[in-house]
Amino acid sequence: MQDKFVIKIESMHLPDQGETENAHSLDKETLEKREIVRIDIANDHVDARDYKPDQDPKKFKSQKTGRGPLVGPNWERPCSPVMCCYKLVTVEFKWWGLQNKVEKFIQKGERRIFTNFHRQVFCWTDQWYGLTMADIRVLEDRTKVELDEKRVRGEVCGTKEEE
């Protein structure tokens, strides 16, 4: 497939509530094609297969920061400080007859992954809040060893779509 299949994910974290119009500094042509998909980690639908009560921002309250639970349609408005993660997902599948279907399938899957991941990040606040860079490096090293072991064993894990 070589150059006929591309998935590129770029992230930009900004101290705002999603008001930045062109966070990724896209050119005019790309900006006109861009579709904005807002993800609300508290209120967006989560598939039953993905739902975990301990990863529900509407139920979680951080003991370290006092943040949460995230309740109501505009829960983010009174929050300070706040950060918005802007993701630019580029999907190109250049195969006649399958292009649109495959690109939409991938985009839908990415939205699901981002929703679940950012819900986890919020609900795991007390596990990472206050870590030093040295703590983070130790965690990264441990995670690398665990992932390498899983790859060797060949066990399938992570997000899977329905068969």
Distance CA 28, CA 140 (A): 38
155, pLDDT greater than 90? no
CA-based R_g, the chain, Å: 18
Distance CA 39, CA 92 (A): 22
Q: What pTM value is reported for the model?
A: 0.84
Query: Which tokens is 33 given?
Result: 């094609």
Q: How many Å from the N-terminal Cα to the C-terminal Cα in the chain?
A: 23
Q: Could you tell me which of 112, 40, 126 has the C-alpha nearest to residue 77?
A: 40
pLDDT averaged over the chain? Answer: 91
- Long-range CB contact pairs, 100-105, < 8 A, 24+: 105/161
pLDDT band of 157, cuts 50, 70, 90: confident
Q: Which helix (H) or strand (E) holds 143?
A: helix 133-153
Determine the pLDDT at residue 1: 62
User: Is the Cβ–Cβ distance between 4 and 16 less than 8 Å?
Assistant: no
